[in-house]
């Protein structure tokens, strides 16, 4: 009896594996046949239903004939519409053709993102086109599915941070969450941008993605509970934006009529946007020892023009990054350009440190390390020499960007020394280290002098990353064990500046707590 029951049970399990559940059939996924629910239904949090009575495959009788009739009727109406608009002149026809080739804006129904009774759909918003081109259409489920598939085929291999099966199984739930809708829009934006058949809609999708992400930010959330889907959406949007921004001045870009039609001031604004993101990437990577996001070798964007010209709309054409770094002539660099040059050298030092770590793992010799190290040190000191020929301005004309550029330059010298000091003892070259340490000490003392220039500035004008150079200089001075010289006054000055910036800078608050713990008695008292 037990044998019969066992064989019956085995037969049921075999039959169960042959049949996919309704959810897997709808998603076109392979069903694992697990009982009582398959893996897809468990992830989606829904019941697992199997329908043994499958409908016959293929179209119903007469369906193809009906579709042919409808297609013929649509062609006839389109032909009548084209004929009725033939009176337009050539220029109007060209404009109409361009307008017709651009899809209208896809509007996200915001109530659908918050209500389970409404599916989050994208509908077309009417554009200001000629009367004969006024029409509306839906981004159908088929188009959404196609864009999602294109994303995983063409975008995901280079940005592999979304779990495909989990995403597909939760697509219905995503439409009920604002962050989920933002992620879908961002994915479709990138997919459309690299798909010829959807080139006409990626700009519209991008605009909707930005608007929804900004609305999501306004809703507010706790810092410790950031939704990963929101972070993924912002990452995809950043990739979409910088795929175009970092080639503003390339030949391909300049031959594009849309790019050449942009005025000089607007182009300069785009350049500055890119370079500000580049600076942030290098500074964050130096602070956290993260990999660099921007590849310096493929940047075709010119350096920004001087601030005065930019604000007066009389921008001149700046040089390219590699040219400015290699230029050894004496010249007054604009503060923003000087900052870009030094964060670029800083980025090379970061790559140098990370490459040294790989070489240690593989057991390679340190000869290559010291060749790179001395080359970077020479490049850095030469550019610092160019920068310091123009002194930091006095109180009347003090420029926060110029002060910060000086700070970053000297911070990079300390950072470079710390890299050499972190090597195993057998790899350190005693002949070189004293000179490197002396340069780092001079750099730390220069940062102390620069903090006095900060005292003349309002704390609200202090660049946000200023606390990190101050922290690095204070830590370096605290490690110096000179029997003839005490650096306590300099450390006191640095810690005082950190505490003075605490009201407006969370970064300063963080470094004020961890900088030189043995000097806690130096914390200034405010009365």
How many angstroms separate the most distant Cα atoms in the chain?
100
Would the pLDDT of 156 be above 90?
no
Q: Which residue has the tokens 């009725």?
A: 84
Q: Which of 286, 271, 255 is nearest to 316 (CA)?
A: 271
Would the pLDDT of 89 be above 80?
no
Could you tell me which residue, 199 or 438, shows the higher pLDDT?
A: 438
Would the pLDDT of 263 be above 70?
no
Across 383-392, average pLDDT? 76
Confidence of residue 457 (pLDDT cuts 50, 70, 90): confident
319-369 residue pLDDT tens? 899 888 988 776 778 889 999 999 999 999 999 999 988 888 887 766 788
- Identify the pLDDT of residue 246: 53
Would the pLDDT of 509 be above 70?
yes
Q: List Cα–Cα distances, 383 to 171, 341, 378, in angstroms.
A: 53, 8, 9
- Identify the pLDDT of residue 7: 60
- Identify the pLDDT of residue 93: 43
Cis ω on the peptide bond leading into residue 11 (within 30° of 0)? no
- Identify the pLDDT of residue 148: 93
- Identify the pLDDT of residue 405: 92
Across 398-410, average pLDDT? 89
10 Å CB burial of residue 480 (0-12, 13-18, 19+) is middle
User: 251-522, what's its fold?
Assistant: Delta-Endotoxin; domain 1 (1.20.190)
Would the pLDDT of 97 be above 60?
no
Across 431-436, average pLDDT? 87
- By DSSP bridging, strand 105-108 and strand 122-125 are antiparallel
Across 166-176, average pLDDT? 83
Alpha-carbon gap, residue 335 to 401, rounded angstroms: 6
Confidence of residue 112 (pLDDT cuts 50, 70, 90): very low
- Which residue ranges make up each domain of the chain? 2-44, 141-245, 251-522
- Identify the pLDDT of residue 498: 92
Q: Which of 310, 306, 308, 330 is nearest to 319 (CA)?
A: 306
Cite the DSSP H helix spans in 246-399.
251-254, 257-261, 264-288, 307-311, 321-326, 335-362, 367-388
Could you tell me which residue, 468 or 43, shows the higher pLDDT?
A: 468
43-87 residue pLDDT tens? 888 889 888 777 666 666 677 777 888 888 787 777 766 554 443
The most confident of the ranges 102-106, 228-232, 427-431 is: 228-232
Percent of the chain with pLDDT over 70: 73
- Identify the pLDDT of residue 154: 84
Confidence of residue 377 (pLDDT cuts 50, 70, 90): very high
Could you tell me which residue, 211 or 7, shows the higher pLDDT?
A: 211
- Identify the pLDDT of residue 344: 96
Confidence of residue 437 (pLDDT cuts 50, 70, 90): very high
Measured on CA atoms in the order 311, 316, 319, 324, is the torsion positive or negative? Answer: negative
Alpha-carbon gap, residue 503 to 523, rounded angstroms: 15
288-323 residue pLDDT tens? 888 898 888 888 889 998 888 887 877 778 889 988
- Identify the pLDDT of residue 4: 56
Taking residue 58's Cβ as centre, other Cβ atoms within 10 Å add up to 8
- Identify the pLDDT of residue 456: 79
Could you tell me which residue, 141 or 345, shows the higher pLDDT?
A: 345
- Identify the pLDDT of residue 521: 53
Could you tell me which residue, 370 or 92, shows the higher pLDDT?
A: 370
pTM listed for this prediction: 0.57
Range of lowest pLDDT (411-420, 484-493, 516-525): 516-525
Would the pLDDT of 16 be above 70?
no
Would the pLDDT of 14 be above 70?
no
Question: Element (H or E) spanning 39, and its range?
Answer: helix 39-44
- Identify the pLDDT of residue 1: 47
Could you tell me which residue, 451 or 44, shows the higher pLDDT?
A: 451
Taking residue 30's Cβ as centre, other Cβ atoms within 10 Å add up to 12
212-262 residue pLDDT tens? 999 988 876 544 456 888 888 998 898 887 666 555 666 555 555 444 445
Alpha-carbon gap, residue 292 to 307, rounded angstroms: 27
């Amino acid at each position: 009896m037990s044998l019969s029951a066992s064989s019956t049970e085995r037969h049921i399990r075999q039959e169960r594996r042959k049949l996919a559940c309704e959810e897997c059939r709808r998603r076109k996924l392979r069903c694992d046949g697990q009982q009582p629910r398959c893996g897809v239904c468990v992830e989606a949090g829904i019941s697992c239903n199997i329908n043994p009575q499958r409908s016959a495959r293929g179209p119903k009788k007469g369906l193809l004939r009906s579709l042919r009739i409808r297609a013929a009727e649509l062609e006839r109406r389109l032909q009548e519409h084209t004929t009725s608009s033939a009176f337009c002149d050539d220029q109007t026809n060209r404009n109409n053709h361009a307008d017709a080739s651009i899809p209208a804006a896809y509007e996200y129904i915001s109530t659908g993102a918050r209500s389970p009774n409404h599916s989050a759909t994208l509908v077309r918003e009417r554009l200001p086109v000629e009367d004969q081109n006024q029409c509306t259409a839906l981004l159908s489920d088929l188009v959404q599915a196609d864009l999602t598939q294109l994303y995983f085929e063409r975008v995901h291999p280079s940005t592999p941070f979304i779990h495909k099966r989990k995403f597909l199984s939760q697509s219905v739930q995503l439409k009920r969450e604002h962050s989920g809708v933002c992620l879908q829009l961002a994915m479709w934006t990138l997919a459309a941008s690299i798909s010829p058949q959807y080139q006409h809609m990626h700009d519209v999708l991008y605009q909707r993605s930005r608007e929804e992400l900004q609305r999501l930010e306004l809703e507010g959330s706790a810092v410790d509970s950031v939704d990963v889907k929101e972070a993924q959406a912002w990452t995809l949007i950043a990739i979409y934006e910088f795929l175009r921004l970092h080639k503003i001045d390339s030949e391909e870009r300049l031959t594009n009529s849309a790019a050449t039609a942009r005025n000089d001031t607007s182009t300069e604004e785009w350049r500055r946007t890119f370079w500000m993101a580049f600076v942030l990437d290098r500074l964050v990577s130096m602070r956290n020892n993260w990999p660099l996001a921007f590849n310096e070798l493929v940047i075709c964007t010119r350096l920004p023009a001087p601030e005065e010209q930019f604000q007066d709309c009389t921008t001149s054409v700046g040089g390219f990054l590699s040219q400015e770094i290699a230029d050894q002539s004496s010249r007054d660099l604009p503060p923003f350009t000087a900052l870009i040059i030094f964060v670029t050298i800083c980025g090379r030092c970061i790559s140098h440190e990370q490459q040294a770590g790989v070489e240690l793992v593989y057991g390679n010799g340190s000869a290559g390390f010291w060749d790179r190290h001395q080359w970077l040190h020479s490049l850095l000191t030469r550019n610092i020499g160019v920068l310091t020929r123009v002194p930091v301005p006095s109180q009347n004309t003090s420029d926060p960007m110029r002060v910060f550029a000086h700070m970053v330059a000297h911070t990079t010298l300390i950072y470079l020394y710390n890299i050499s000091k972190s090597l195993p003892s057998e790899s350190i070259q005693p002949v070189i280290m004293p000179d490197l340490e002396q340069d780092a000490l001079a750099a730390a003392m220069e940062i102390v002098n620069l903090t006095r220039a900060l005292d003349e500035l309002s704390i609200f004008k202090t660049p946000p990353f200023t606390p990190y150079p101050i922290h690095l200089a204070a830590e370096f001075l605290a490690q110096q064990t000179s029997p003839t010289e005490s650096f306590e006054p300099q450390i006191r000055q640095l810690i005082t500046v950190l505490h003075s910036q605490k009201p407006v800078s969370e970064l300063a608050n963080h470094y004020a707590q961890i900088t030189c713990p043995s000097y806690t008695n130096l914390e200034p008292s405010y009365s």
